Chains A and B, each alone.
With several copies, the nearest count.
Chain A
């Protein structure tokens, strides 16, 4: 395999482009995904108000790369309807904080169609959006993006049976999961982390899929299982390095799909390490992180040598001031501290 490097954002774009080339029923819609809607003279330069998609409209035309008005309800619903009518829409919702404007379609419509029709309809729609906070510890103090542009909040979509929810963490799995998502016959929510966009990594050029519903052993270890969710992966690696220096080998299980969860892989790791720490940037209450912890505590209780632990963002709305926000999310230091506490506690 060649060492072709792409950014996380480019990897996703490549998957979309390849699937659009492969299947004429794939199309994409969202606010400002091209920009300058109706003004082709600008399209050469543009590729979405916030980057990405560059040139997509030039290659596939405005019939398949469609800028939307500010109408999340209508166009996420249109995604559902188009999927039922035989197309494969990719619906871009600018950021996860906006799902309150189209939540019914995401949780009451798309996920239930197959079930309530007794398998009568497929609903192959992909909802793509971004999550995660922005305050980077160590940056000069100032402002973050504020509470409505910084949330993680994926737990409230992962709650509903019938919707597959993906949290890719590397360019490689981002491309493979996007390809899988577009080809999937069920509704899929594809969640990118706001911070990972420019992270680079090895990405093969030819189309490939990463299986939905399968966790990835991102690092092997014997002493402790860290379950990482989405944007937590770099933090887990950093913490694992620190712990390794102290002689503690952490196994990192990158969940990749947060519903339905690959319980088996998590259980097998815990059977080996006897310890579990879940790292989840979402706030804790009724979170996917606590969900994983609870499953292990219920189903692999006998294997545990220490309390199952989950580490989250602080249970508060996201404050604007970076001086506050930087204390909110999990960090490598907090992971290390949680591991140490866990080992002492028992």
Chain B
């Protein structure tokens, strides 16, 4: 089917996927050159998912994310400059250096947080959905989860609760086929998509390497949620090209043939070929975006390098909103 997405949106999609990709490549490059990042998990390969979903979101919508959250945040509009500064642990970061890669948040954008305790952010999204219903709004909350979360307790509780509360939540399961080193077919009994059906909510399984497929499925789900139709579930089959975390050697648990197979389905070149073939965008459009992103990457690293670390006495700030009556030792 031909694309029915307008030019601005197509440009946004390309820009977003490329931004995520380049942000992460830069992260890896910096890490390898000795920048002392803490832990972090790369999204490279999965860009189509967050991008296709966020294409339907507005500032006042919410997202809840897991440990592999750079892409979710960037697609929701988080400033890459502040995000990289956060990864550096700088006071100029999204979280003033207190969160790091695994806890990026942005209250102005409804980013409830990258959250590395598997599955727990699903419940936050249900709560955001309940708050939206309470104020009779038409915002939505997107809950990103990995395939491993399907086996977690909080998965069952959260989808059940979202359903009975008719909360406007879209559960987006990024099935990248591994949980650390554990293949999904070992860890998850039955089919992921059947788990959603069991709650009686709409569920769809899509090719998560194809941004158009994601765009379409997410569009329906978001529209349904905004219109009061309640939660739905999307399983996006995808793949991470790098190790589980920044120091993981993935050759220890999977073949390079398998990795290559998914590299051939890389969503970014696939997007490029398709929009060029259908003449929706020109090479000039895309190259312009690439160049713009490169400039941004330089600026981002410069900013992070130049930024200050938090001062030692900040250690005791922001435990509570205000100092408490009796004081603390």
B248 lies within 8 A of chain A by Cβ: yes
- The answer to whether A321 touches B123 (Cβ under 8 A) is no
Q: Choose one: B128, B309, B319; the contact of A162 (CB below 8 Å).
A: B319
B113 lies within 8 A of chain A by Cβ: yes
- The answer to whether B182 touches A35 (Cβ under 8 A) is yes
B-chain residues with CB within 8 Å of residue A98 when the two chains form the complex? 117
- The answer to whether B117 touches A71 (Cβ under 8 A) is no
A227 lies within 8 A of chain B by Cβ: no
B-chain residues with CB within 8 Å of residue A147 when the two chains form the complex? 98-99, 103
Give chain A nearest CB distance to B98 CB in angstroms: 4
Nearest B residue to A81 by beta-carbon distance? Answer: B127
- The answer to whether A109 touches B187 (Cβ under 8 A) is no
- The answer to whether B135 touches A77 (Cβ under 8 A) is no
B96 lies within 8 A of chain A by Cβ: yes
A143 to B246, alpha carbons, bound, how many Å?
13
Q: Mark B300-329, 1 if CB is under 8 A from A, else 0.
A: 000000000110101111111110111111
B211 lies within 8 A of chain A by Cβ: no
- The answer to whether B98 touches A320 (Cβ under 8 A) is yes
A190 to B141, alpha carbons, bound, how many Å?
28
Nearest B residue to A120 by beta-carbon distance? Answer: B107
Which listed segment binds B: A7-15, A209-217, A241-249, A330-338?
A209-217
A342 lies within 8 A of chain B by Cβ: no
- The answer to whether A108 touches B120 (Cβ under 8 A) is yes
- The answer to whether A69 touches B325 (Cβ under 8 A) is no
20 inter-chain pairs at a CB distance below 8 angstroms, sorted by A residue, are A42-B252, A46-B252, A67-B186, A70-B187, A71-B160, A74-B154, A79-B127, A85-B62, A85-B110, A85-B128, A86-B131, A105-B123, A109-B124, A142-B88, A143-B37, A143-B88, A144-B89, A214-B326, A215-B326, A314-B316
Known: A142-B36, A320-B100. A213 touches B124 (CB 8 A): no
A214 to B327, alpha carbons, bound, how many Å?
9
Q: A78-B124, A81-B124 are in contact. List 12 more A-B contacts (CB 8 A).
A: A32-B180, A77-B120, A89-B127, A113-B105, A116-B103, A117-B318, A120-B107, A139-B36, A143-B100, A144-B100, A147-B98, A321-B310
A27 lies within 8 A of chain B by Cβ: yes
A145 to B151, alpha carbons, bound, how many Å?
25
A86 to B112, alpha carbons, bound, how many Å?
12
Q: Choose one: A63, A100, A114; the contact of B318 (CB below 8 Å).
A: A114
**Which range holds the interface residue count of chain A?**
35 or more
A71 to B319, alpha carbons, bound, how many Å?
28
For window 67-108 of chain B, which residues contact chain A by CB distance below 8 Å?
86-91, 93-103, 105-107
A-chain residues with CB within 8 Å of residue B164 when the two chains form the complex? 69
Q: Choose one: A36, A97, A142; the contact of B117 (CB below 8 Å).
A: A97
A78 to B38, alpha carbons, bound, how many Å?
29
Give chain A nearest CB distance to B135 CB in angstroms: 7
Nearest A residue to B179 by beta-carbon distance? Answer: A70
- The answer to whether A118 touches B98 (Cβ under 8 A) is yes
Known: A71-B157, A262-B326. A85 touches B127 (CB 8 A): yes
A89 to B129, alpha carbons, bound, how many Å?
13
B152 lies within 8 A of chain A by Cβ: yes
A-chain residues with CB within 8 Å of residue B93 when the two chains form the complex? 118
Q: Choose one: B88, B186, B319; the contact of A37 (CB below 8 Å).
A: B186
A163 to B309, alpha carbons, bound, how many Å?
27
A204 to B225, alpha carbons, bound, how many Å?
45
A25 to B141, alpha carbons, bound, how many Å?
18
A252 lies within 8 A of chain B by Cβ: no
Q: Mark B176-205, 1 if CB is under 8 A from A, else 0.
A: 000111110111100000000000000000
- The answer to whether A328 touches B327 (Cβ under 8 A) is no
- The answer to whether B99 touches A212 (Cβ under 8 A) is no
